[in-house]
With several copies, the nearest count.
Chain A
Amino acid sequence: MTKLGTKPGREISYADALYEAVASEMDIDPSVFVFGLGVDDPKGMYGTTKDLHVRFGADRNFDTPLSEDAMTGVAIGAAIAGMRPIHVHQRFDFLLLCMNQLVNLAAKSSYMFAGAVSVPIVVRSIIGRSWGQGAQHSQALHSMFMHVPGLKVVAPTTPHDAKGCLIAAIRDNNPVIFVEHRMLYGNRGVVPEESYAVPFGKARTLKEGDDITIVAVSHMVVEALRAASHLEKVGVHAEVIDPVSLSPLDIDTIIQSSAKTGRLLIVDNAWTACGASAEIVAQVVEHFQQTRAIQVRRMGFAPVPCPTTKPLENLFYPNARTIAAKAYDMVKGADQHWLPEGPEAKEILEFKGPF
């Protein structure tokens, strides 16, 4: 179990933390370069790649044609040649165009060729939400990649981990699917100025508690922490765990917490069927077998494509209040019909379109 340092320090946003990670690695390693649709455009991928082409040259941060399939292959080819490309996708949904290269080539090359090549690529995949992104601009498909041996998948939530994980991903000698969430970009937190890597395979316990373990993924960590605050007010003490890295997955931290609380609620920022939440449940119960019957629940996207209209979109996602209500039921017994009062998440309330 790793804890986030709480000592005061410089606070920056998640987006700036990502920028800092890339810039610092580009500074020390000439094999690192960034490319993808819009990375060097006036908006610089929400600021995360803003002036890299100015600082490091136009051939180290460049725009591409709309050719996600081939551009993924270009990243793989460059990686085999010894470079460390970072391929950026404005929406996770676009990775569906890259599946062949990522799953058939990137994930397989090291093994098929018995280690003769390595494929150190980072695939930055931004999950969209809000303002009617709709069915094709809001997907979070990390479980598809967790399914495939040869890939790594990380989904940092705090600015601290955003920087540290991106540095770790760039230095990793394997293909890393780097999962970001647009609604995390504005979140601020303490981020050391110096370079550091957050190792994969270590979960973080962001809040301790004895009554229930809540494991949350990506933006749902923020909502789970809010849910935990609601729960504190009614005397329920939730432990909130952020796996940070999904593959490899630190199941031990989750198992230990579940052993303590006897209750495990997993809130994924994705669909649940064959999702990260299913895998976590399976590993936990395989561990305990009949020695301990843990109460388990999963929450995630409603099992439907994402609708655009706001009232339905609100129902599509778990939120602090529905997470709290579910946890409350798990602790107090089913159907307590308790739902805390509270505003919608501020990052969602404050988000203005168009995109």
Chain B
Amino acid sequence: MTKGVRGDNAVLLRRLYTSLYRIRRVEEEIVRIYPTDKIKSPSHMSLGQESVSVGVCEALRKTDIVFATYRSHAAYLAKGGDLKRMTAELYGKADGAARGKAGSMHLIDMSTGMMGTSAIVGTSLPLAVGYALAERMRGKDTVVVVFFGDGAQEEGVFHESMNFAALKKLPVLFVLENNTYAIHTPLGARVPAANFRERAATYKMPTQLIEDGDTLALLEATEAAAARMRAGGGPEFFEVMTMRWLEHVGPGDDLHLNYRTKAELDAWKAKDQVKLIGAMLDDAARGQIQREVEEEVQAALAFAEASPYPADHELYEHVYHD
């Protein structure tokens, strides 16, 4: 897997496993509940890709900023987003992260630096750059991370955002979550070569490849990159190989669609980061985390169930700020 990590390995591993397992369990519950129609919100599961968010966010400060995508659950939770407000949001309830106006595709928790996500592919890239510009103008040493998919790099705004971030030497960490598919379309149908780091390097930014969604490698790499960025080193680029286990959107499997193979998916499941990190803990520690997470998840779901729907007059609120 990876070389040694920071000082207190045990504490760190417990934190990582808690974060990973929590995302996993919440999503498993979403999958279970989805068919009941209680969650009427197109949900793009992070299941299988949890480690990308967890590895990166573990290296960030609370004041650092994360921009992510409609596949938002992992980043939201990894950056410390409130679980109850997330479940309530998916239920469309008034206690949701955005009072039910956002749904799964637009999670937000400003108090933890989790910026609201967008359902238009690639659109958060320049926002992250702009946020970093603002922080730098005010002399802060904030690091801004933007997660995006392999599909997003095809949008012109990716090129424009990389160019500008590099030009202005802004502290933006571009994290390409390469799950090799955009919905059902493999990379081969979209790019002449999957040489994303090579291209990123032409913007004069350091790049790194993280294989297998390796949580610990990502954590270490992010810590180092964040330190360089805080010191004014300019943007960096990570390509993280990973795989979603479920269909593009929704709770189901999708092997019957035949756009990817069972062997391919099984290979990824065999190197499941949640299991691998869990295996580094002893049974007692792991069991305790699992029990605590279970309790928290069930409490969050109960909270969502109990929360009221927003009142009718809320339809007209929040369009403008005074």
A interface residues, Cβ below 8 angstroms from B: 33, 37-38, 41-43, 59, 63-83, 85, 93-94, 97, 100-101, 104-105, 109-118, 120, 131-137, 149-150, 152, 173-174, 302-305, 307-312, 315-316, 352-355
B129's contact among A74, A133, A353, by CB below 8 Å, is which?
A: A74
- The digit string for B86-121, where 1 denotes a CB below 8 A from any CB of A, is 000000110011111111111010100001101111
CB distance from B96 to the nearest CB of A (A): 8
Q: How long is the Cα–Cα vector from A43 to B129 in the complex, in angstroms?
A: 28
**Cβ < 8 Å to A, chain B residues 61-94:** 92-93
Known: A65-B160, A78-B137, A307-B100. 4 other contacts (CB 8 A): A41-B183, A70-B156, A81-B135, A355-B249
- Asked if residues A76 and B127 are in contact (CB atoms below 8 Å), the reply is yes
With CB as the reference atom, state the residue of chain B lying closest to A41: B184
A353–B154 contact, CB under 8 A? no
Asked if residues B121 and A66 are in contact (CB atoms below 8 Å), the reply is: yes
22 pairs of residues in contact across A and B, judged by CB atoms under 8 Å:
A41-B183, A42-B259, A65-B164, A69-B156, A69-B160, A70-B125, A70-B163, A82-B134, A105-B120, A105-B123, A105-B127, A109-B116, A113-B97, A113-B102, A116-B108, A132-B92, A135-B106, A149-B319, A302-B315, A308-B102, A311-B310, A353-B34
For chain B, the bracket of interface size reads 35 or more
Is B130's CB under 8 angstroms from A74's CB?
yes
How far apart are the CA atoms of A71 and B163 in the complex, in Å? 11
Neighbouring A residues of B105 by C-beta, 8 Å? 134, 136-137, 308
B133 at the interface (CB under 8 A from A): yes
Once the chains bind, are B126 and A72 in contact (CB under 8 Å)?
A: yes
Most chain B beta-carbon contacts within 10 A, residue among A37, A137, A307 = A307
Whether A112 lies near B156 (C-beta < 8 A) is no
Using Cβ atoms and an 8 Å threshold, which residues of chain B touch A308?
40-41, 92, 100-103, 105-106
Q: Report yes or no: A110 in contact with B127, Cβ–Cβ below 8 A.
A: no
Q: Enumerate the 3 nearest inter-chain pairs by beta-carbon distance, A residue then B residue, closest first.
A: A73-B126, A77-B130, A309-B92
CB contacts (< 8 Å) of A131 on chain B: these are 40-42
B131 on the A face (CB < 8 A): yes
How far, in Å, is B29 (CB) from chain A's closest CB? Answer: 16
Chain B min CB distance to A115 (Å): 4
Please give the distance in Å from B195's CB to the nearest CB on chain A.
15
Binary interface encoding of chain B residues 218-244 relative to chain A, with 1 for a CB under 8 A from any of its CBs, else 0? 000000000000000000000000000
B-chain residues with CB within 8 Å of residue A85 when the two chains form the complex: 130
Q: Are A354 and B249 in contact (CB under 8 A)?
A: yes
Please determine whether B321 and A65 come into contact, CB atoms closer than 8 angstroms: no
Q: Which of A42, A66, A101, A174 has the most CB of B within 10 A?
A: A66
CB distance from B80 to the nearest CB of A (A): 15
- How far is A85 from B156 in the complex, measured between Cα atoms in Å? 22
Question: Is B253 an interface residue when CB atoms closer than 8 A count as contact?
Answer: no
Asked if A311 contacts B92 (CB within 8 A), the reply is yes
- What B residues does A82 contact at CB under 8 A? 134
* Distance from B237 Cβ to chain A, minimum over Cβ atoms (Å): 16
Q: Which of B190, B191, B312, B320 contacts A110 (CB 8 A)?
A: B320
Docked-complex contact B164 and A38, CB < 8 angstroms:
no
Residues of B within 8 A of A (CB): 34, 37, 40-43, 92-93, 96-106, 108, 110, 115-116, 118-135, 137, 151-152, 154-157, 160-161, 163-164, 167, 182-185, 189-191, 247, 249-251, 257-259, 309-310, 312, 314-322
A354 to B155, CA, bound (A): 24
The chain B residue with its CB closest to the CB of A174 is B320
A303 near B184: Cβ-Cβ < 8 Å: no
Main secondary structure of the interface of A (DSSP, over half): loop
Chain A contacts for B115, CB-based, 8 A: 80, 117
Which of B93, B130, B152 is the one whose CB lies under 8 Å from A81? B130
Alpha-carbon separation in the docked complex, A70 to B160 (Å): 6
Residues of B within 8 A of A302 (CB): 315-316
| CA distance in complex: A83, B247 (Å) | 35
Cα-based distance from A93 to B130 in the complex (angstroms): 23
Query: In the complex, are the beta carbons of B184 and A73 less than 8 A apart?
Result: no
Partner pick for B99 among A71, A114, A304, CB 8 A cutoff: A114
A71 smallest CB distance to B (angstroms)? 7
Q: Which chain B residue lies CB-closest to A352? A: B37
Task: Contacts A37-B183, A59-B137, A134-B103 given; indicate if A70 touches B129 (C-beta within 8 A).
Answer: yes
Complexed CA–CA distance, A112 and B185 (Å): 29
Q: How far is the CB of B154 from chain A (nearest CB, A)?
A: 4
Pairwise interchain contact A65-B42, C-beta atoms closer than 8 A: no
Q: How far is the CA of A310 from the CA of B131 in the complex (A)?
A: 32
- Decide: A112 and B315 in contact? CB cutoff 8 A: no
> What is the bound-complex CA distance between A307 and B132, given in angstroms?
29
A309 with B101: CB separation less than 8 A: yes
Contacts of A307 in B (CB 8 A): 100-101, 314-315
- Nearest-Cβ distance from residue A244 to partner chain B, whole angstroms: 18
| A304 nearest CB neighbor, chain B only | B319
Q: A66-B151, A67-B154 are in contact. Are A305 and B319 (CB under 8 A)?
A: yes
- In the complex with contacts A42-B259, A105-B118, A136-B119, A116-B110 CB distance below 8 A: yes
Do the beta carbons of A77 and B133 come within 8 Å of each other?
A: yes
A333 smallest CB distance to B (angstroms): 26
Chain A residues, Cβ within 8 Å of B101: 111-114, 134-135, 307-309, 312
Cross-interface CB contact of B106 among A33, A63, A65, A113, cutoff 8 Å: A113
Establish whether residues A77 and B129, one from each chain, have CB atoms under 8 Å apart when the complex forms.
Answer: yes
In contact, A114 and B156 (Cβ under 8 angstroms): no
Q: Which of B182, B257, B309, B318 is in CB contact (< 8 Å) with A309?
A: B309
In whole angstroms, how far apart are the Cα atoms of A312 and B319 in the complex?
A: 14
Q: B315 contacts which of A150, A174, A304 (Cβ < 8 Å)?
A: A304
Cα A191 to Cα B108 with chains together (Å): 44
Q: Do A65 and B190 contact each other (CB < 8 Å), given the known contacts A112-B98, A131-B40, A132-B40?
A: yes
**Which residue of A is nearest B110, CB measured?**
A116
Minimum C-beta distance from B160 to chain A (A): 3
Rounded to whole Å, the gap between the CB of B164 and the closest CB of chain A is 6
B185 and A63: CB pair below 8 A?
yes
| Chain B residues, CB < 8 A from A104 | 118, 120, 123
- Complex CA–CA separation, A310 to B101 (angstroms): 9
CA distance A80 to B116 in the complex (A): 10
